[in-house]
Amino acid sequence: MKYIDEFRNKKLIDKVASEIRRSVEVNRQYNFMEVCGTHTVSIFRFGLKDLLPDNINLISGPGCPVCVTPNEFIDKAIALSARKNMIITTFGDMLKVPGSYSSLEKERARGADVRMVYSGIDALDLAKKNPGKEIVFLGVGFETTAPTVAQSIIAARKNKVKNFSVLCGHKTMPEALKTLTEDPRLNIDGFLLPGHVSVIIGITPYLFLPRRNKRCVVAGFEPLDILQAILMLVKQRTPKVEIQYTRMMNKNGNALARESMKKVFEEYPSVWRGIGAIKKSGLKIRKEFSDFDTDKKFIPKISKPKENRACICGDVIKGVKAPPECKLFGKLCDPEHPVGACMVSSEGTCAAYYKYAGR
Amino acid sequence: MEKITLAHGSGGTLMHKLIDSLFMKEFDNAILRRKKDSAVFDIGRSKVAFTTDSYVVSPIFFPGGDIGRLAVYGTVNDLAVCGARPLYLSLALIIEEGLDRNILEKIVSGAKDAAKRARVTIVTGDTKVVERGSCDKIFINTSGVGEIYYDGLSLDEIRPGDAIIVNGSIGEHAISVMASRESIDFKTKVKSDSSALNALIARALAISKGIRFMRDPTRGGVATTLNEMVERRSFGVAIDEKAIPVSAGVREACELLGFDPLYLACEGRVIMVVSKKDACKVLGAVRKDVNGKKAAIIGEVTRENKGKVLLRTSAGGKRLVGMLSGEQLPRIC
């Protein structure tokens, strides 16, 4: 397990943790946001908060793609699942997410054909094997998953597959970060930026952050990655964007992946659950590919989306509040009966608190 | 109207809630209330163990086993962890119309071979054929009867300080089945751990009176088994991530798909709770068995964290390990 064992080496972890403790200024508080849900899970899974000094406060950010997908998207997928000859395909995480009135998992138990796949290409293969059925793939996720979904649409066009479309809910990260820095309730000193997103987009889209006095480090997901990135954030005097994840990325990102995204998608103002609409933060399918756009192909009709008013997922997603501050947490909202998406997704902040910290 | 979902059968919290709120309530009796892997009761002067289980695995053939072998081993192990010598099994087949006869022959042959290895006799059975689409190729139900030869295994015997032993690397069955089902070709091949544990367990029980409790971590994996063990008890459990044997192939699959190996099903593994004094002796005995080569002490029973399972992580932190919630599903990224 090269590149995993090395980054879980206890001796090295202890060394970096001690260096963090030596490097912090004792009389100040450091507020660092880990933007990405995978970082959040890693921090909890490896108990990394135990290794940090008390004055480093790690705040979980909006980088769980399932958590920020609004009810309306799930409601549309559920409405489509009720149609005849329709197969809804999705990444595993999305199955349990509650929409306004139900979830795909519950609809599957009621008879809907909902299948878990590992990629858009898997969904496309299913379309080829089932010419009498319509296959809808739920396109969710950030810059990490969007290029592969773009590739599946390009491949569908090339192979003249007519029964495949994507319900597009992709989001992009930089504009969301801008929104966070503009929220007066948040006092963030620095960001742990998501390694896999950055592999695609490089560092250019983050360069506005140091100008807003925010320290930035692009980090990998193993314990040593995260601790090293925190050390780099602590030591950074003049805010800048540094890369800890050098083994996987360079500052320019992956131009080929960006090209396929650009070919199929265009930017538009996307609604983030709990945050609302953020300009240029979403991807929609370009007109040229509208044959593969579920929204255009089927125009799914849904009732008005509904949110539980007591759920504070929005504030949790933004890092303004921690899960235990929610009245529903652990009482009316748990992984079996999630009220908000933060509890259902394995990358959600509430689920991580509940599962790993028991509170 | 609430519908039963796949999560109700995953071995996790929802399944436990369903069992408690429906089956335990409706069928309530003293034997059932003990919630053992087998029902243990007296018939005349003999103390016997009786168990049943159904097998609906897909695909029906996977690296390291098949549904026939699995059905025999699963039932044998449920008897063995209760301190019983497995003796007689039933084998009931629900076959989907259209199944090739040679596939059925292979499954029956697998069950025959497994029974021979486990030294049990299949003495009764049943065959039903259902319309195409009514089941997935073949479902198997097995019941088993065994004679109790060691009557000291009980949750009530567990004491703080006791060691927790597992007989080998965890999660291999779940990953082998999933990789075959989804046609995922991991770099390191994983074979199911499916096997009969009655010989290994008998070997351990023969050398120590300090074995307090045993359970095989099937659905829900090691995490759920340990949670079942501490639930509503006056002790907790602490386990060491570094001590838990996980093969390279399982780790690779878990990293790729976002699974936690602690929740993966095993079909040839047993968790033993052993007195501190006898832990090394039992470990040595288990390691002498073909199914125990990689056995390890993975943690201990604690006075602290009552009712909870704590994991000391490889990085040096601590976290809780809850019961499986719903199904484990691959993450988006």
pLDDT band at A8 (very low <50, low <70, confident <90, very high): confident
φ and ψ of B271, to 5 deg: -100, 125
- Backbone phi and psi for residue B285, each to the nearest 5 degrees, phi listed first: -65, -45
pLDDT for residue A171: 96
CA distance to partner chain A, nearest, from residue B88 (Å)? 37
Query: CB-CB: which of A51, A140, A335 is closest to B316?
Result: A51
Q: What is the pLDDT of residues B120-145, one digit of tens each?
A: 999 999 999 999 999 999 999 999 99
pLDDT digits 0-9 by tens, A82-115: 999 999 999 988 888 888 999 999 999 999 999 9
Percent of chain A with pLDDT over 70: 99
Question: What's the one-letter identity of residue B138?
Answer: I
The dihedral sign for the CA sequence A328, A331, A335, A336: negative
Half-sphere exposure of B11 (CA within 13 A, CB side): 21
Rounded to whole angstroms, the Cα distance separating A24 from A31 reads: 12
Distance from CA of B252 to the nearest CA of A (A): 7
Nearest Cα of chain A lies from the Cα of B306 at a distance, in angstroms, of 13
Q: What mean pLDDT comes out for the span A120-136?
A: 97
- Can you tell me the distance from the alpha carbon of B190 to that of B173, in angstroms, rounded to the nearest whole number? 8
Dihedral sign computed on CA atoms, order B66, B67, B68, B69: positive
* Per-residue pLDDT reduced to its tens digit, B207-251: 999 999 999 999 999 999 999 999 999 999 999 999 999 999 999
Residues of B in contact with A40 (CB under 8 A): none
With CA atoms as reference, the chain A residue closest to B252 would be A1
- Closest by CA to B217, choosing from B253, B279, B145, B266, is B266
- Predicted pLDDT at B62: 94
Using an 8 Å CB-CB cutoff, list chain B residues near A334: 325
pLDDT at A252 over 70: yes
Is pLDDT of A298 > 70?
Answer: yes
- The minimum CA-CA distance between A42 and chain B, rounded to whole Å, is 11
Residue located via tokens 């595993």: A92
State the number of CA atoms in the 13 A half-sphere of B157 facing the CB. Answer: 15
> How do B65-66 and B61-62 pair as beta strands?
antiparallel
Residue A341 CB neighbours (<10 A): 32
Q: A49, B317: Cβ pair inside 8 Å?
A: yes
pLDDT for the residue A282: 96
pLDDT in the model for residue B223: 96
Contact A177/A197 with Cβ under 8 angstroms?
A: no
pLDDT digits (tens, 9 = 90+) for A255-277: 999 999 999 999 999 999 878 89
Task: Please report, to the nearest 10 degrees, the dihedral formed by the alpha carbons of residues B175, B181, B187, B191 taken in order.
Answer: 50
pLDDT over 70 at A7, yes or no = yes
Task: Assess whether pLDDT exceeds 70 at residue A2.
Answer: no
Q: Do B331 and A8 touch (CB under 8 A)?
A: no
Residues of chain B with Cβ-Cβ distance to A108 below 8 Å are: 5-6
Q: What is the pLDDT of residue A221?
A: 93
In this prediction, residue A291 has a pLDDT band, given cuts at 50, 70 and 90, of very high
Name the residue of chain A whose CA is nearest to B258's CA. Answer: A346
What is the model's pLDDT at position A5? 78
What does each of the 333 residues of chain B score in pLDDT, given as a tens digit? 788 888 888 778 888 899 999 999 999 999 999 888 999 999 999 999 999 999 999 999 999 999 999 999 999 999 999 999 999 999 999 999 999 999 999 999 999 999 999 999 999 999 999 999 999 999 999 999 999 999 999 999 999 999 999 999 999 999 999 999 887 777 778 999 999 999 999 999 999 999 999 999 999 999 999 999 999 999 999 999 999 999 999 998 998 888 899 999 999 999 999 999 999 999 999 999 999 999 999 999 999 999 999 999 999 999 999 988 777 766 655
| Res. A17: pLDDT tops 80 | yes
Q: What is the ipTM of this complex?
A: 0.82
Q: Could you give the count of Cα atoms lying within 13 Å of B26 in the half-sphere of its Cβ?
A: 5
Q: How confident is the model at residue A1 (pLDDT cuts 50, 70, 90)?
A: low
Inform me whether the C-beta atom of residue B258 falls under 8 Å from chain A C-beta atoms.
yes
- Between CA A75 and CA A297 the distance in angstroms is 17
Average pLDDT in the A182-206 region? Answer: 94
* pLDDT at site A121: 95
User: What pLDDT does B187 receive?
Assistant: 74
Residue with token string 């029956």:
B108
Chain A contact present for B313, CB below 8 A: yes
Residues A8, B314: C-beta atoms closer than 8 Å: yes
Query: How buried is A158 (Cβ within 10 angstroms: 0-12 exposed, 13-18 middle, 19+ buried)?
Result: exposed
Kindly determine whether residue B317 and residue A358, on different chains, have CB atoms separated by under 8 Å: no
How far is residue A16's CA from residue A227's CA, in Å, rounded to a whole number?
A: 7
Q: Which DSSP symbol is given to A103? A: B
Residues in B 199-218 with any Cβ partner in A closer than 8 A: none
Count Cα neighbours of A183 within 13 Å in the Cβ-side half-sphere.
20
Q: How confident is the model at residue A319 (pLDDT cuts 50, 70, 90)?
A: confident
Residues of B in contact with A14 (CB under 8 A): 316
**pLDDT over threshold 60, residue A359:** no
Half-sphere exposure of B187 (CA within 13 A, CB side): 9
- Contact between chains at A144 and B326 (C-beta distance less than 8 A): no
What pLDDT was estimated at residue B333?
A: 55
Number of C-beta neighbours around residue A146 at 10 A: 26
